């Protein structure tokens, strides 16, 4: 009997940041950086950064629903980025950095809509601007974007200034949901 794995597709600004926060969560099997939500039939970093394709930087989180629920994945999403800023996360500006959840089925859509009403709005004073849309296509990002934070760490100033504090905040809040890390 094979294990059931579900997928969540989430955009919360730079995919390096979102990938970094989910990779150590219990029940998460894999996190892949990529692109979704655009009008172009393909996507790559250069074209997405041109702001002409309509794609957002996203991650696909594959998870074991017997260990972590889609609801919990979405709850974590609200704290992993600022869902109140349109087309922006910190200094990253443009539609490719928008807050977006691409649902895979109607059940996921209902869970997201409920979470916006009952969870996200209690965490922020400003209105939630997260786009909610069906996933039409996912384009995996180039190999050098995968596990970027793990491979680069604090050797990259962006990682030091932006990702490291975000990961630390996330790990503090969700310490009880993190995978054990060998000493």
Q: Which residues are catalytic?
A: 14
* Separation CA 68–CA 47 (nearest Å): 34
> Taking a C-beta distance cutoff of 8 angstroms, is the pair 76, 170 a contact?
yes
- What does the DSSP assignment read for 61-97? EEE-TTTS-HHHHHHHHHHHS-TTSTTEETTEESGGG
What angle (nearest 5°) sits at the alpha carbon of residue 28, between those of residues 22 and 31? 55
For residue 12, give the nearest of 129, 121, 127 by alpha carbon.
Answer: 129
């Amino acid at each position: 009997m094979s294990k059931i794995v579900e997928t969540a597709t989430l955009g919360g600004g730079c995919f390096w940041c979102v990938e970094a926060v989910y990779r150590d969560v219990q029940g998460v099997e894999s996190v892949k950086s990529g692109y979704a939500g655009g009008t172009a039939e393909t996507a790559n970093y250069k074209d997405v950064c041109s702001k002409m394709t309509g794609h957002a930087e996203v991650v696909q989180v594959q998870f074991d629903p017997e260990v972590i629920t889609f609801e919990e994945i979405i709850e974590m999403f609200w704290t992993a980025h600022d869902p109140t800023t349109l087309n922006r996360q910190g200094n990253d500006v443009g539609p490719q950095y928008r807050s977006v959840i691409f649902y895979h089925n109607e059940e996921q859509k209902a869970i997201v809509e409920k979470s916006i009403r009952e969870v996200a709005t209690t965490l922020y004073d400003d209105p939630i601007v997260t786009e909610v849309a069906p996933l039409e296509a996912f384009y995996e990002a180039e190999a050098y974007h995968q596990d970027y934070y793990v491979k680069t760490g604090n050797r990259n100033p962006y990682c030091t200034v932006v990702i490291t504090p975000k990961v630390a905040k996330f790990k503090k809040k969700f310490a009880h949901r993190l995978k054990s890390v060998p000493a």
